């Protein structure tokens, strides 16, 4: 063994071992290996990104799966990389350009701007990669990919060209979601609906052919009135059907002559009788539903907005040049001046926001590129038939519903940073190809592809596609994908379709072209109040600060401890502190073993095993089974809880303390066997913990001398390639005598200790004071068992008495299967005073119980308070009732 220092210092340990793992090539995957493959591709973080708690959760899970697979003897590829993040990166560089040079991208031109973006990427792009390394991520960094790398870009272009030639990609003028800040189209999945409080404005319009007839229209967007080219009513609505074919006088813009304000009244069954007044203003250029009505009725399309969300000249003199929300206020004032504003009512509705820019999007008619999704049916079938499994499986229904109602994907973006669309124009000619066409006069399409159009190829484009590389042969389909449910449509569904479309070709000879076998959906990290973490709320801790304060292992352990399968994670820094305390406990347990002297013991002699030894070996067996099963089913929090219970409670609190009994030190053979059991348990424990706590387990693996068990292993005798612990088989259990009898004896012994400690606690006796106990055993007890009882009870003595022995009146006692334990009170307390104290305490507890019961029985309380408050009161009642049972038991014992 190498001496383990007194204190655990995470920083020096973490840096040392991560450097060791990298230099030894421990993370590097070998496609020629004969080992079974395990592969996982990282959800590529944005190149603009900084590590946040969502990354910690997601990547810790991936690292746990990868490290466990290595210990299972698999050849592991965890493939890392970053995404070019079209909008986010361009916005960052534009801001820097404006701040540092006071210029816009248009002033320096596209080519020069892209040079600035690449320079920015080189400077900032590796920040998040280095942060992932601090977390301990065991990615194969030799295979790191970037979605704008030349090879990857070639894949993106090839896919576009192939889909274009299949007729699945087309260009058309369609209504799209438009971001006025980024000034680009967005897909439906990039729009987040948010409830917004505003007003429903009711204004009236005159029917031109019936000057005495006025119609009232309700709208939330009066600023778009200048773009109205009709009003619509339902032809089945008896209130208005007779007016179809006539015209109304549009109130805005004011300055237009009357004849230019006349717009038709049309009949369309799209109009809802019940919504508003039943009369709908139709603005084909600024509303998707209105656009469809306009197409059905051949209405004019009047676009009254600029791409940046300001009003143009067609909006009229009073609105032109104003921001759309400023224009709304002005439009309301103009309607009031005209005397046609009827009323304004507070109104809340859902408004689509750009996820990136966090501003309301504008429906906008625009020339864009669209994709008809390929391979939809096999993508649905692989999940529906259970060949690809979702964890939790509830997401399978969400996935199937989206694919059933899928809409064409708007894949073009009006940006400069990204994969430029490989299409060129010359007069009326259009050319699509991997290289620019020959000849003069060709102009390439100025748009770039949606960032997701590159990342949907991630599982195979990162492995050498379109060639059938050794890496693809070995590691595709991948084993697991770990991601958030918020991108199930953006990314997961699209990757599945891309996998079937491009890896389903005969040359790849795959029985199933699906890109992964399992998809694990994490929950959302929230603060302990349940709020989503954000910079605005100031509730999102910096993981690097937590790593510096507590260590990476502590952060990993604390995060996973509160991460139930697929549910949101309520993060509390106390969990990270607990993780640090746990690391210290593990460290000290290994130091305790070293302090017993001797080299690592490997041979356990069955005939020298005590009931405590057998008990801990059975508890280890249980822990191995529980943790292995939990990891197989992606129940990471369950695995952590099992490890915590086994190591902290069963091993440290009970077994290690029991092993300090004096008689072990006087018998060399017993001591050697005890150390062999401890070494066996610690060797298995460190391996169980390694996927969760990679740094400290590697340090202790070497410090304890366990690395010597692995001569010739890849990575220079690292725990990373040590075999995953296996539970005992039937023959091993028989060999070591691990039966129910030994298990029950030790369990009863520890239970009896707990009962004895409780007697001390109820009487408020100093835990450090050595007391005399009396034990009336139910059967024969070995001297060694009595010595352990004495040690664990912190007893001066444990006197064994016969079954017919009778205690003094008032002697408190407790019993279980092992026997009855008594705590003589002579010289310890004043019995009368103690009885009076307990009686008073009983009265107080009963009063508290009545108080809580009355509160819970009151419907005004129970039915109106939040569920959390109600649960707290129910727990309070249960706690008081438990205390009452204890006090009554103590009083009964006193007679």
Give the chain's length: 895
302: tokens are: 């009047």
What confidence tens digit (pLDDT) does each residue in 41-98 have? 999 999 988 899 999 999 999 999 999 999 999 999 999 999 999 888 998 899 999 9
Bridge partner residues of 216 (DSSP): 204
Of 568, 765, 788, the residue nearest 663 (C-alpha) = 788
d(CA 604, CA 395) in angstroms, rounded, equals 48
What confidence tens digit (pLDDT) does each residue in 863-888 have? 888 888 898 999 999 999 988 988 88
d(CA 742, CA 617) in angstroms, rounded, equals 11
d(CA 880, CA 146) in angstroms, rounded, equals 60
Q: Work out whether strand 210-219 and strand 362-371 pair parallel, antiparallel, or are unpaired.
A: unpaired
What's the CATH code, domain 543-738?
1.10.730.10
pLDDT at 528: 86
d(CA 834, CA 826) in angstroms, rounded, equals 13
pLDDT at 667: 82
Count of CB atoms situated within 10 Å of the CB of 530 = 9
Segments of the chain with pLDDT less than 70: 1, 535-536, 663-665, 709-716, 893-895
716: tokens are: 């220079």
181: tokens are: 């800040």
pLDDT at 88: 87
d(CA 353, CA 180) in angstroms, rounded, equals 11
Q: What are phi and psi of 353, to 5 degrees?
A: -115, 145
d(CA 644, CA 629) in angstroms, rounded, equals 16
What stretches of 415-530 adopt beta strand conformation (E)?
A: 423-426, 429-432, 443-444, 448-449, 478-483, 516-521, 525-527
Asked if residue 677 lies in contact with residue 604, where contact means CB atoms within 8 angstroms, the answer is yes
CB half-sphere exposure, 52, CA atoms < 13 A: 17
658: tokens are: 């029991």
DSSP 375: S
Q: What are phi and psi of 177, to 5 degrees?
A: -80, 125
Asked if residue 251 lies in contact with residue 238, where contact means CB atoms within 8 angstroms, the answer is no
For CA atoms 532, 535, 538, 539, give the dihedral sign. positive
739-826: which CATH architecture? 2-Layer Sandwich (3.30)
191-357: which CATH architecture? Alpha-Beta Complex (3.90)
DSSP 164: H
Lookup result for tokens 């210029």: 103
d(CA 262, CA 251) in angstroms, rounded, equals 9
d(CA 122, CA 165) in angstroms, rounded, equals 35
Asked if residue 614 lies in contact with residue 742, where contact means CB atoms within 8 angstroms, the answer is yes
CB half-sphere exposure, 386, CA atoms < 13 A: 0
What are the domain boundaries of the chain?
A: 191-357, 543-738, 739-826, 830-895
Q: What are phi and psi of 543, to 5 degrees?
A: -60, -35
Burial state string for 227-264 with b = 16 or more CB within 10 A and e = fewer than 16: bbbbbbbbeebeebeebbeebbbbbbbeeeeeeebebb
What's the CATH code, domain 830-895?
1.10.287
347: tokens are: 């109104």
Degrees, nearest 5: CA angle 858-864-865:
95
pLDDT at 182: 87
DSSP 385: T
pLDDT at 715: 42
DSSP H or E segment with residue 859: helix 859-862
For CA atoms 288, 293, 294, 298, give the dihedral sign. positive
Query: Which DSSP string do the residues of 815-857 spell out, in sequence order?
Result: EETTEEEE---TTT--HHHHHHHHHHHHHHHHHHHHHHHHHHH
pTM of the model: 0.86
DSSP H or E segment with residue 756: helix 740-762
Residues 6+ positions from 32 with CB-CB distance below 8 Å: 470, 474
In Å, how far from its chain's centre is CA 681?
32
Q: Work out whether strand 230-233 and strand 262-267 pair parallel, antiparallel, or are unpaired.
A: parallel
* Maximum distance among all Cα pairs of the chain, rounded to whole angstroms: 116
Cα Rg of the chain (Å, integer): 36
Count of CB atoms situated within 10 Å of the CB of 782 = 11
């Amino acid at each position: 063994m190498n001496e383990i220092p007194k204190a655990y210092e995470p920083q020096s340990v973490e840096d040392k071992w991560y450097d060791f793992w990298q230099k030894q090539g421990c993370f590097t995957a070998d496609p020629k290996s004969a080992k079974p493959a395990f592969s996982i591709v990282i959800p590529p973080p944005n190149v603009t990104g900084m590590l946040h708690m969502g990354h910690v959760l997601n990547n810790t899970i991936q690292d746990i799966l990868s490290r466990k697979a290595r210990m299972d003897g698999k050849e592991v590829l965890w493939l890392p990389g970053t995404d070019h993040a079209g909008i986010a990166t361009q916005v960052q560089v534009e801001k820097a350009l404006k701040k540092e040079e006071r210029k816009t991208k248009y002033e320096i031109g596209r080519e020069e701007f892209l040079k600035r973006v690449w320079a920015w990427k080189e400077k900032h792009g590796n920040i998040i990669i280095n942060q992932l390394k601090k977390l301990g991520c065991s990615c194969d960094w030799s295979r790191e990919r970037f979605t704008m790398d030349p090879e990857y870009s070639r894949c993106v272009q090839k896919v576009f060209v192939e889909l274009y030639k299949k007729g699945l990609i087309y260009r058309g003028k369609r209504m799209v979601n438009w971001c006025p800040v980024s000034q680009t189209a967005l897909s439906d999945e990039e729009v987040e609906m948010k409830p917004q409080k505003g007003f429903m404005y009711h204004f009236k319009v005159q029917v031109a052919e019936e000057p005495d007839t006025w119609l009232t229209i309700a709208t939330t967007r009066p600023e778009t009135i200048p773009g109205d080219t009709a009003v619509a009513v339902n032809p089945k609505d008896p209130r208005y059907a007779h007016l179809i074919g006539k015209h109304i006088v549009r109130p805005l813009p004011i300055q237009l002559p009357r004849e230019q304000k006349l717009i038709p009244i049309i009949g369309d069954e799209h109009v809802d009788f019940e919504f508003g007044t039943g009369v709908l203003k139709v603005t084909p250029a600024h509303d998707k539903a209105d656009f469809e009505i306009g197409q059905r009725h051949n209405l004019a399309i009047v676009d009254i907005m600029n791409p940046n969300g300001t009003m143009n000249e067609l909006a009229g003199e009073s609105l032109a040049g104003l921001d759309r929300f400023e224009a709304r206020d002005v439009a309301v004032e103009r309607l009031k001046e005209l005397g046609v504003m009827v009323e304004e009512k507070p109104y809340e509705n859902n408004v689509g926001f750009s996820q990136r820019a966090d501003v309301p999007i504008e429906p906008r008619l625009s020339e864009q590129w669209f994709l008809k999704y390929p391979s939809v049916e096999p993508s649905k079938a692989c999940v529906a038939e259970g060949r690809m499994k979702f964890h939790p499986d509830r997401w399978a229904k969400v996935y199937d519903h989206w694919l059933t109602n899928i809409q064409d994907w708007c894949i073009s973006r009006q940006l400069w940073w990204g994969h430029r669309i490989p299409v060129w124009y010359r007069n009326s000619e259009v050319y699509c190809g991997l290289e620019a066409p020959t000849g003069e006069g060709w102009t390439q399409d100025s748009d770039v592809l949606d960032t997701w159009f590159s990342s949907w190829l991630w599982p195979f484009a990162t492995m050498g596609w379109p060639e059938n590389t050794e890496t693809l042969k070995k590691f595709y389909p991948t084993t697991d994908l770990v991601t958030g449910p918020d991108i199930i449509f953006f990314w997961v569904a699209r990757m599945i379709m891309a996998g079937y479309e491009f890896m389903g070709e005969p040359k790849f000879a795959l029985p199933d072209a699906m890109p992964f076998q399992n998809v694990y959906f994490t929950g959302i990290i929230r603060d302990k109040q349940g709020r989503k973490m954000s910079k605005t709320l100031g509730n999102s801790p910096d993981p690097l600060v937590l790593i510096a304060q507590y260590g990476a292992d502590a952060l990993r352990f604390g995060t996973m401890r509160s991460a139930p399968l697929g549910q949101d994670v309520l993060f509390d820094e106390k969990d990270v502190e607990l993780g640090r305390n746990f690391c210290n406990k593990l460290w000290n347990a290994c130091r305790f073993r070293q302090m017993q002297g001797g080299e690592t013991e490997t041979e356990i002699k069955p005939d020298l095993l005590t009931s405590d030894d057998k008990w801990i070996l059975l508890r280890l067996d249980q822990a191995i089974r529980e943790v292995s099963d939990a990891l197989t089913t992606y129940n990471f929090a369950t695995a952590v809880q099992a490890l915590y219970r086994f190591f902290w409670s069963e091993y440290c609190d009970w077994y290690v303390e029991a092993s300090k009994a004096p008689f072990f030190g006087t018998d060399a053979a017993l001591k050697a066997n005890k150390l062999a059991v401890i070494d066996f348990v610690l060797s298995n424990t460190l391996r169980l913990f390694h996927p969760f706590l990679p740094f400290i387990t590697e340090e202790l693996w070497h410090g304890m001398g366990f690395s010597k068990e692995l001569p010739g292993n890849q990575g220079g005798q690292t725990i990373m390639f040590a075999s995953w612990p296996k539970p005992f088989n039937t023959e091993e259990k028989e060999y070591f005598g691990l039966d129910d009898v030994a298990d029950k004896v030790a369990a009863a012994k520890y239970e009896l200790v707990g009962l004895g400690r409780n007697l001390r606690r109820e009487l408020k006796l100093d835990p450090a004071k050595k007391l005399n106990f009396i034990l009336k055993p139910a059967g024969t007890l070995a001297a060694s068992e009595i010595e352990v009882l004495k040690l664990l009870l912190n007893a001066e003595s444990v006197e064994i008495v016969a079954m017919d022995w009778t205690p003094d009146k008032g002697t408190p006692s407790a019993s279980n299967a092992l026997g009855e334990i008594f705590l003589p009170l002579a010289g310890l307390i004043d019995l009368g005073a103690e009885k009076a104290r307990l009686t008073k305490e009983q009265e107080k507890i009963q009063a508290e119980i009545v108080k809580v019961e009355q509160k819970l029985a009151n419907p005004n309380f129970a039915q109106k308070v939040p569920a959390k408050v109600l649960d707290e009161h129910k727990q309070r009642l249960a706690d008081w009732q438990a205390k009452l049972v204890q006090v009554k038991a103590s009083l009964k014992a006193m007679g």
